[in-house]
Amino acid sequence: MLENSKRIRRITVSGIVMAIIIAQSLFPMLGYVPIGVINLTTIHITVIIVAILFGLFEGTVAGTTWGVFSFINAWTRPTSVVQTLVFTNPLVSIVPRIIVGIVAALIFMKLSRLNLVTRSAITALICSLLNTILVLGTIYLAYRTPEVAQAYGLKDPSLLGKLLLGVVGTNGIPEAILAAVVVPIIVKALSAALKNKLK
């Protein structure tokens, strides 16, 4: 009976998580917040929170859902030429997101000696940067082509590495800081509301 209850809970949580991430993917203001000239991704925050609160399986479901909808959006409703050229490759759009969901759960478990807020902040910071590095690293390794360089406004593909490093600074680091601030607040509140045993 207890196993059935756990299974039902897991299916319910996974369904809710998928619905939230799909909504964030379909409505840009929910998943991508424009601040000045940059757009901060917030979907990774949801994935990290789910992995922390519910564990490895749910974190993987969350990451996979995010990745699959990044892939679908690149094909059906791209917002840029870069998205069409690059994010239609599942190695860029799907795999890094799955890894983030898995690693978030593992890091949080490994930091069990620390308090909840510190564990959550460190997990969020690392996994946010991990997403940025995996996505941009894959683009750098697989797409140093004239087409992608031109889509980024570059004439020389050899300059793509420098441009992507700039993206890490303008988007990746602010996203990581945002995650490190927001994730502990939400995790602490939800942990109390759900009467989760996290400490």
166 in any annotated domain: yes
**pLDDT on residue 164:** 86
pLDDT-derived band at 27, boundaries 50, 70, 90:
confident
- Domain residues for the domain of 184 are 2-193
CATH of the domain at 77: 1.10.1760.20
The chain-wide mean pLDDT, for the chain, equals: 85
19 in any annotated domain: yes
80 in any annotated domain: yes
Please name which of 143, 176, 175 lies closest in space to residue 161, comparing C-alpha atoms. 143
Give pLDDT tens digits for 61-89: 999 999 999 999 889 988 777 788 889 99
199 in any annotated domain: no
Tell which wins on pLDDT, 66 or 27. Answer: 66
DSSP string, 71-138: HHHHHHS-SSHHHHHHTTSHHHHTHHHHHHHHHHHHHHHHTTTS-HHHHHHHHHHHHHHHHHHHHHHH
- Is the pLDDT at 49 greater than 60? The verdict is yes
173 in any annotated domain: yes
Please name which of 69, 131, 139, 140 lies closest in space to residue 103, comparing C-alpha atoms. 131
Domain tally for the chain?
Answer: 1
Give pLDDT tens digits for 98-143: 999 999 999 999 999 999 999 999 999 999 999 999 999 999 888 8
152 in any annotated domain: yes
**pLDDT on residue 21:** 86
Global model pTM greater than 0.85: yes
**pLDDT on residue 33:** 66
